[in-house]
Amino acid sequence: MSTPMSRRTFITSVSSAAAVGAISRGRFPGLRAAAPSTKVAIVRTSDRKKGVTGVVRLLNAPGPKGKDVVIKPNFNSADPTPGSTHNDTLRQLMAELLERDARSLTIGERSGPPVTKKVMEDKGVFDLAREMKASIVNFEELSDTDWVPVTPAGTHWTSQLYVPRLMAEASYLVSTCCLKTHGYGGVYSMSIKLAVGMTPKRLMREMHASEHMRRRIAEINAGYKPSLIVMDGVDVFVDGGPSQGKLVAANVFVGGTDRIAVDAVGLAILKEMGANSAIMDRKIFEQEQLQRAVELGLGISSPDQIELVTGDEPSRAFAAKIKARLSEG
């Protein structure tokens, strides 16, 4: 039998609830509600199958059951990983999605400068898609009606920005990126940079010919939202990139649902691996891709909001190092 609530208890409870609401609405400027956190999974392994499976299970994010899933890999070129997504990573990711009852799988991509179809042929992606019963959409072959406009607040683009309708309207979108530096103005290439392959090829000259390149990269992300991000960090570029660079074995997989958080963890990993000065000499949240993504509200706004999750001792030990890097800003 429940005990009747006294008048004093009732008033205290209501007052507490009202105070929490007032704090969240900013009525008490000296007090702030706790910022929401996001989980980022770390799995220390050189086995791509184990890495993909590990981060997906650790995240335990809402699954794709009954949904048409769109997968955006990194096929900017056909160069070996991390120049492009490893087929083993893509295959295992598709297997995990099918195991979780995805209704269908579609791989969507636009390469550049190489021709997209040739990149996919060279990488054996068409054979892999047939094996996994997935379809392929080549963004380089889309008609004008297959693109939707994106206009981020305070955009740094002078031309109208577009992303494929397939990506903008996907009910479940998965980004699978590599972990690397970018030697042509991007500074780094991870989940936020992956969006460049979602734009018409004709916009690439404008993107590169500006001091605002990193901000423009982030702004593409306003046109879509991933449900899951899986980043392959088995082999990483700590200098150079995106196709070729100084290669280091980091032996790690990273997974999350927040692009800013995943890239922040990736930058911390690059710092731990000893990357170039563009990474080492700047704080993580001072990188322009992240700064602009934060301004656009695409995810978290500080490293304090990242909760690292692991499943074994090697991963926990590595995560402790990454947490220390994140705490430096």
> What's 240's domain CATH number?
3.40.50.11440
Instruction: Give the pLDDT of residue 34.
Output: 58
Global pTM? 0.89
Instruction: Give the pLDDT of residue 5.
Output: 41
Query: What is the residue-averaged pLDDT of the chain?
Result: 91
Say if residue 221's pLDDT is above 90.
yes
Please check whether residues 7 and 101 belong to one and the same domain.
Answer: no
Q: Which whole number is the average pLDDT over 290-311?
A: 98
Please check whether residues 19 and 103 belong to one and the same domain.
Answer: no
> In sequence order, which ranges of 60-178 are alpha helices (DSSP H)?
87-99, 116-123, 125-131, 165-168
Q: Which whole number is the average pLDDT over 43-63?
A: 97
Say if residue 19's pLDDT is above 60.
no
Instruction: Give the pLDDT of residue 207.
Output: 87
Please check whether residues 66 and 133 belong to one and the same domain.
Answer: yes
Domain range for 65: 34-327
Please check whether residues 189 and 258 belong to one and the same domain.
Answer: yes
Cα 224 to Cα 147: distance, rounded to the nearest angstrom: 12
Amino acid at 59: L
The C-alpha angle 133, 162, 66, rounded to 5 degrees, equals 30
Q: pLDDT tens digits, residue range 102-118? A: 999 999 999 999 999 99
Cα 323 to Cα 289: distance, rounded to the nearest angstrom: 20
Question: Whose structure tokens read 């991933």?
Answer: 226
Q: What is the dihedral of CA 173, 57, 237, 258, to 10 degrees?
A: 50
Identify the band that residue 171 occupies on the pLDDT scale cut at 50, 70 and 90. very high
Instruction: Give the pLDDT of residue 30.
Output: 44
Helix, strand and coil in the chain, % to nearest 5: 45, 25, 35
Say if residue 265's pLDDT is above 80.
yes
Amino acid at 91: R
Cα 173 to Cα 161: distance, rounded to the nearest angstrom: 20
Say if residue 23's pLDDT is above 80.
no
Please check whether residues 123 and 226 belong to one and the same domain.
Answer: yes
Q: pLDDT tens digits, residue range 132-155? A: 999 999 999 999 999 999 999 999
Please check whether residues 10 and 152 belong to one and the same domain.
Answer: no
Say if residue 318's pLDDT is above 70.
yes
Q: pLDDT tens digits, residue range 32-46? A: 455 689 999 999 999
Please check whether residues 263 and 293 belong to one and the same domain.
Answer: yes
Identify the band that residue 126 occupies on the pLDDT scale cut at 50, 70 and 90. very high
Instruction: Give the pLDDT of residue 20.
Output: 38
Of 176 and 33, the one with more pLDDT: 176
Please check whether residues 102 and 170 belong to one and the same domain.
Answer: yes
Please check whether residues 39 and 16 belong to one and the same domain.
Answer: no
Q: Give the whole-number percent of the chain exceeding pLDDT 70.
A: 89
Instruction: Give the pLDDT of residue 174.
Output: 98
Say if residue 157's pLDDT is above 80.
yes
Instruction: Determine contact, residues 100/64, Cβ cutoff 8 Å.
Output: yes
Please check whether residues 17 and 57 belong to one and the same domain.
Answer: no
Say if residue 27's pLDDT is above 80.
no
Identify the band that residue 10 occupies on the pLDDT scale cut at 50, 70 and 90. very low
- Assign 220 to helix, strand or coil: helix
Please check whether residues 87 and 113 belong to one and the same domain.
Answer: yes
Instruction: Give the pLDDT of residue 55.
Output: 98
Please check whether residues 25 and 84 belong to one and the same domain.
Answer: no
Q: What's the count of helices (H) and strands (E) in the chain, helices before strands?
A: 12, 11
Instruction: Give the pLDDT of residue 209.
Output: 82
Instruction: Give the pLDDT of residue 210.
Output: 82
Number of domains in the chain: 2
Q: Which whole number is the average pLDDT over 115-125?
A: 98
